[in-house]
Chains A and B, each alone.
Chain A
């Protein structure tokens, strides 16, 4: 609304304080270098609105090739919202508006001629809440390859399903009951099924929204191992509430607060010497 219009205008320095305070008072001088060499996707000046309410403010961030960037921050700070900008899942929400650029291979994915269907085949997503289709385990994983015509015959398809389930660490538990409904699995199994479903179409970028929040430590370890392996071929952005996980799996970490990107940098720097007070409070557990 008014705030965004104000944002787009060049603002004289002395006025900036008053305008920004209309939003939130966050010191953004220590954000750090949001770029990375060899970026796969670039987020530039992105603002996201739900109706009149702004959820993401002026975010710039690169998703590097063959690396993992983790997004951390307190609940409601806009991590999911930003993640969903990358594959245009926000299009499905009524009243959600995205401003700014999200680039993939130098092209804005929000350009008119970009087909979100193709984009989502290239940028896969694992949602915060496990959401298997109410169909068989096999069909859950096979759905993506089927609709994109990635397989020639049943044998191909079975192979994709098996390797995807294997990589998601689920195959051993379900190989005898691939024809059973995916909704009959436990919460953690469902989440791994969703991971298998996402990697079955071999996307170039994988967005993971708290993929391990419903998993036990063993399954979590398996997923983290998978992420490490996927990194060799894919680019990954992962939202997590576990600092240890971010430290284990990611090369870069971005800390968000109330819709702002407060600090971003190599993971070990963020965790060992955070520059911003909010970041420090959050990673040391003093926040909230």
Chain B
């Protein structure tokens, strides 16, 4: 078959810059074939190569006694004691979800689940952090419905509980929604599977679903800005089949238990190309593939198409040759394809054969080691200007404005479309803070949260980056969990713009400082750049997914406030209203600086909660919306009214960091006060629980009415 000639237009269409193409010519000393050009484009795009971000990602703290495997594999691996490990990662599927919301979101979930079970872990929890455009933008409603159904459609069928996440709305996402999918799995710490191939002449096996033309060039598409031709890119979105993924999970875990697997890698972005190169590169081996043996769903597929297809639910494995019959039998049992498509070779070579022709013959290690790496110019974000005064408003009016807004109303409409109880180990459902899942058959449980406040990051990337980690830390602490480790999903605009690169650099600095100070190293992550449409960038959105450990059921703080309880705030309230929810939702102003984060104070407050949990019935972190919103959500959870003493807006709605709201009975509150005095932390009584009204700032409203407003707002906006 004749391949197209290499022209400057063709090179540009592959997202390769002229100097990058020159580099290819230098490496191979000749003009690449069409298939080779496709392979380079797949390996060197931003999505796969991290060429703009690598320099900064290296600065993140990734080590700790709890870390078994940090970034660089399919997912991070963290010790949870008793020979067990939690395996987790978060990854974006932004561009595909904007183009085709259902399939884009569904395959985002599928991809992250595969990353987890490729390591030998059975997925036990999922989360999704979603960012959409403003409520009245013509695309928003359709995206909300499509993305939520896609997330649910895939995860519900696969059978993993979706225990948390975020949903936000802002005009900066009008042309570029974000879908960040998290998954965590459970594995034996001594049975983790990695991607590095080993041994020469070992069979390379293709597992799972057949290869079609879907997703060809997807990773390259995801590395470009959008413009009005976006609808033409629909064919680059993959189509998901969760039933096949479920079978692939079971078959892979059986196969791994059989001892047949030397190494294994899922076929995600850039499919066969990326997975084969990664296995060879990490094992210092070459790979030969004969594409005639690849199971194909469509006829007359070319080498180029097969190498770049992003068909879902596929894996590549290096097999112990003596175990071929057993391995094949397991895949036949689950009615999945199993085909030997190549072998490992001693020389540094990526050799692709099709129809007795050599379609690509490249130096394998250079595909990743010689990938371009950029130190992009960046400028620090300008310090925020001083903020104009904020007028006082009635505290109940402000609460009503918040709880009926798309950003702060109940998310039940979303999470009720996700099975959050399958596997029957969910002990804290989504809705308020971290979700908690038991480690099946043990006394242990794991807590999961995902957090970021993009307004803060835009105003002050360093403090905003810190805040995202600090909020994740607090959400884990508030359920009584010891924070273990973190995954970061960094969503930004075009890194070729120095101010966007400046946001990225600042956020990484803040995240790094916080992860180090709070002892929750980054063990996996993903970078999504070029989130821009017609030159308009999204808010910088470094989503932090974090995992915490509870060693026994007694450690869980999951109570609700009861009549007669005392309400207390741990941590200092100064009344920071810059970039607050009150300012944004009530006054339509996004002004001022992000709240500063005192990492030492965060740590002290967190340790105080863990050391004194026997005195705490209900606990939640204070984040956007401040004390008033957190107290309202606690009241709804307990179905009981409450009264808050502070009266001015800044004290009620200020977003100072390092704070928790605690509800407990009078005797325990006294004990907690004594403990706080000894520990030197600030603990103040701010109100009491009781009645059927919310009373704040001299106003009051019936809890039932407010609760109805909060519960029904999401459907009123979007259903």
- Asked whether A and B interact, the reply is no
Binding site for A on B (CB under 8 A): none
